[in-house]
Structure 1
């Protein structure tokens, strides 16, 4: 697939050295998104471009083929694993108000895990996918609210805790579940009634309200069949949020300007931005994944590649955890059966991008579009 013409647009804008006007950004986004939607057969897509505290929205296509409802910045999309950054922020908040410590062993927060492998696995290791080999997904027989605790009670690590990163929904999902236990609330309540309001997000949900159903985009699978995310064990904690490009833009701004939030939320965001270990050029935060900035397109593609998600990688811990450096890029991809999401931002440049689509498509293609947009802004 040849993206050279699109990146030429970005390069010309970079060389111009002038402030980017709205018409220039429209040209950059259009020239990246329109070919992508055609090539990947994406019905609808919403982009939010954040630059110096201002947000521009670029919306394309339809939220649902049957109604032909146009996508807008208020269209609700499933964001898949971008949800993990919210789960991580909730954990950081619980730590900030002294309800948990990331260094605590997991079984401390759930009596039914006492005597299991989780006597020796910390909350931090769960949150950073280093518990010892928890898989990407639950085995089918354990993928329900009634069977998942039995799975954890009998699970045996493949590696010593803290040695290997293996990206895992059960791992960070259990972290979210235990965080909610520490707060004395069900996870969905803690997310919707505590965290999201503190972030100023008014159109983000674990369960989409009935009065918002008409804003909920229809997802489409590879065969263009309609699909929404299926229920599963720890789905809310690992991949369950639905939100809009407008709310995600607010979320990015909150991450880049946490001083606008109350003190515990500032501490929560600092915890998610800290670097806990490095692997293959990526520094693992809580939920967020961090890279030195500026970054090449290929390095960002590699960091969001299938091997990074599917294979174990030996990690090098940072002791103590490294606070946010001066020039870094944070990002996270997310997918469900019918949706694809990507968020990336550079705090030192006060710029970011959100890309939401109602079809799952390759991470590399999301990264290419975001990198071109960020490059065009960074003049």
Structure 2
């Protein structure tokens, strides 16, 4: 067993013991300080008591997989009355930053069923990669894929039906793109900088009519490249929505009801200055959400109109939206792990919208991607300029993550995940190539990382 596995197993063992004994104080002591603010002891007691009443004690646990460079672990948890999957995320201090219980899907597809795969019209090795990376997804899964090579775009669509992959025309099908939205929010930031309305290092507090807690300073750049030190989510957002089982009946978008008053209260009362650092990378939906909202204050327009006027219209993205009610046709339903349709995420205000609120198509995203190849587009070039070095292989720009491949190519990448969708976009600017994948694979699916894997695999094949 690796050192990281031992670390996770030690944490999981303590959680199991404290849960079974009803010692929920000990359970909560495993949380990071930020998690303790979100999941107070009272809320933790309420949730774990509810879980025990419905599922009973934990009988056994089994490590299923690790992801996120070893920071995430997935366990199959067998309770007395149910089986669930537990996802754990730990920080550098070995404290829990996130945990999530969700149903264990016992009806995983049999890879042998793909012997009757109906896929064609692609090179066999690309078909084999698609089959391999989608074999564990449920029926009704749909993928829309855009291939960009030498500036030309081709599209490929698949749908899984009766455990068989079939081709489908879906380049204009609409999906939630999740955190790929952050690249668009970064584009609005670059637009405002080039127009001399703001500077990247400006403190955003001057656009608010109240002081931030402890006079904490947050720059536009730090919000965009995840070096603000802000947590993933605000402490006054009801994180129990993340802990609810993602079924059709009760899956709730955790962002829907979070509004301006909630954000203002957070900025004035809940900012934790101890946690804030401008020297470390810490991925934050909250940070980019605040960035988008602040840009709406700078421009004096709501975020939906800014996306429409400054990006969608400019790049002829006619089927891209931030308001789902405007999607008149072509919406692909999001799925849970078992292939059941679940509710779409809705956004009632500009607050946090910039972190993940866009819906789009591979046709539209390919237009935006090809615009990145235009060397005269200073706005998009600014979003791709490195601003922070994460390690020897990864740099962070404004929105984009810049990954150095094994053959020393620079790849610009972002992915996205919501309750019912996963997406990935990877571009090789120097060679004018790219792959975009939109899907209705749940962001909480155990095999969600396969969408990212497939995008890089297909790009590699594309450039051979």
Relative to the length of structure 2, the TM-score reads: 0.63
- The SS at the match of 1:204 is coil
Alpha-carbon shift at residue 39 of structure 1 (Å): 1.7
Structure with more relative contact order (C-alpha pairs < 8 Å, separation 6 or more) = 1
- Which runs of structure 2 are paired with 1:188-203 in the superposition (5 Å)? 188-203=304-319
- Report the counterpart of residue 131 of structure 1 in structure 2: 228
- Report the counterpart of residue 329 of structure 1 in structure 2: 411
Indicate the structure with greater helix content: 1
4+ residue stretches of structure 1 with deviation over 6 A? none
**Which among 236, 257, 267 is matched to residue 353 of structure 2?**
236
Q: Is the 8 A contact 1:120 1:161 kept in 2?
A: no
**Which among 90, 97, 116 is matched to residue 188 of structure 2?**
90
- The SS at the match of 2:321 is coil
- Report the counterpart of residue 270 of structure 1 in structure 2: 381
| Structure 1, unpaired ranges of 5+ | 2-22, 260-265, 297-326
- Which runs of structure 2 are paired with 1:1-379 in the superposition (5 Å)? 25-41=122-138, 43-61=141-159, 72-112=170-210, 114-117=211-214, 119-136=216-233, 139-141=236-238, 144-145=258-259, 146-154=261-269, 155-210=271-326, 212-227=327-342, 228-231=344-347, 234-259=351-376, 266-280=377-391, 281-294=393-406, 327-360=409-442, 361=445, 362-379=447-464
Q: Distance in 1 between matches of 2:227 and 2:452?
A: 25
Q: Is the 8 A contact 2:323 2:347 kept in 1?
A: no
Alpha-carbon shift at residue 111 of structure 1 (Å): 2.0
Relative to the length of structure 1, the TM-score reads: 0.76
Whose Rg is larger?
Answer: 2
Q: Is the 8 A contact 2:213 2:268 kept in 1?
A: yes
Q: Distance in 2 between matches of 1:51 and 1:76?
A: 23
Q: Distance in 1 between matches of 2:284 and 2:215?
A: 16
Alpha-carbon shift at residue 105 of structure 1 (Å): 0.3
**1:61-103 Cα shifts (integer Å, max 9, x gaps):** 179xxxx995510000000000000000011001111111111
Comparing 340-349 and 69-78, the one that deviates more: 69-78
Alpha-carbon shift at residue 231 of structure 1 (Å): 3.7
Q: Is the 8 A contact 1:130 1:162 kept in 2?
A: yes
Comparing 35-44 and 173-182, the one that deviates more: 35-44
- The SS at the match of 2:172 is coil
- Seen in structure 2, the aligned counterparts of structure 1 residues 132 and 97 have a Cα distance that, compared at 3 Å, is same
| Structure 2, unpaired ranges of 5+ | 1-63, 65-119, 240-254
**1:151-178 Cα shifts (integer Å, max 9, x gaps):** 1222123334312221111101101111
Pairwise CA RMSD? 2.6
Q: Is the 8 A contact 1:134 1:157 kept in 2?
A: no
